[in-house]
Structure 1
């Protein structure tokens, strides 16, 4: 599999031509910036968004066992929604991370909030997937949804406290 990356709207390049990518700091708006060094001595600047796109580009796909589903919980003031998508493969990506692949794409077509996603396994347990080293595990979907609802409540309280202090 030859991974290609669109450096800009006119330029595509094989990922194999990238020698290294280094974090260079933040711009005046607080956005992460990176320097990309290419085979043969070329280099250029990358935004944090472009780096994330490169990092999550699959280099290898491994078929997933049937019955694994990606989960996305949306908590609002009135209801909690659980979206489920079948995991069709696992992608080993440019940055070395393993990400889920659903019919919507790598990471279910979007970047996980806070670098972490969750999958429902065939045995009914829920496991974290993503950037963290510690795997978070729940015995069942109800326990995971309760965790997400509690996290939503804690974040809402923190926001309210910050607004009071401001």
Structure 2
């Protein structure tokens, strides 16, 4: 059973995926609330935008990962890039069709949104989990860290020239 949960409003909608016939477009109110009309076999409910996103990111099938694979999260700051590893125990095929990594903390190491990290395959090569829009494979952690640091540097705001003041 897949459930919608909104803890701030003390609301729980327990719905089975097979009972959902349609999820309507996003409706935005002037109050800032955003929701979808979810049509069911018997009636309909309003589900907040975050609830619908969480629904689509839930696994419908789990596949075990090879025991030698691991998940890497790479971060960067002004001093360089560093790697935080996590054991990769499986892969989750989610309702939205995206395959996400599974660690002991859960799907995508307990996070719901990208970035999904990188995984080290049994041959030692490192591959992106999902589409990064950039390079997707590296031969070593050092190459990966160098690339992430380079991307971080390129994403930083550029200082304005001295004569640009209005």
Name the TM-score class by shorter chain: 0.7 to 0.9
* Superposition deviation, residue 112 in structure 1: 4.3
Structure-2 separation of matches of 1:51 and 1:92: 17
5+ long unaligned stretches in structure 1: none
User: Does the aligned pair in 2 maintain the 1:7–1:13 contact within 8 Å?
Assistant: no
Q: Considering only aligned residues, what root-mean-square deviation do their CA atoms show, in Å?
A: 3.0
5+ long unaligned stretches in structure 2: none
* Superposition map of 1:71-82 within 5 A: 71-82=72-83
Q: CA separation of 1:10/1:50 partners in 2, compared to 1, >3 Å: closer, same or farther? A: closer
* Superposition deviation, residue 19 in structure 1: 2.1
Q: Give the match for residue 6 of structure 1.
A: 4
Q: Tell me, what secondary structure is at the counterpart of 2:157?
A: helix
Structure-2 separation of matches of 1:132 and 1:24: 26
User: Does the aligned pair in 2 maintain the 1:71–1:82 contact within 8 Å?
Assistant: yes
User: Does the aligned pair in 2 maintain the 1:116–1:132 contact within 8 Å?
Assistant: no
User: Which structure has greater helix proportion?
Assistant: 1
* Superposition deviation, residue 153 in structure 1: 0.5
* Superposition map of 1:46-57 within 5 A: 46-47=48-49, 49-57=50-58
Asked if 1:21 corresponds to 2:19, the answer is no
Q: CA separation of 1:98/1:147 partners in 2, compared to 1, >3 Å: closer, same or farther? A: same
Structure-2 separation of matches of 1:133 and 1:73: 16
Structure-2 separation of matches of 1:127 and 1:15: 32
Q: What is the number of residues matched between the two proteins?
A: 159
* Superposition deviation, residue 148 in structure 1: 0.6
Structure-2 separation of matches of 1:118 and 1:31: 34
**What is the TM-score of this pair, normalised by structure 2?**
0.78
1:3-33 C-alpha deviation (Å, 9 max, x unpaired): 4213433332222222232432655588864
Asked if 1:157 corresponds to 2:157, the answer is yes
Greater C-alpha Rg: 2
User: Does the aligned pair in 1 maintain the 2:54–2:112 contact within 8 Å?
Assistant: no
Q: Tell me, what secondary structure is at the counterpart of 2:52?
A: helix
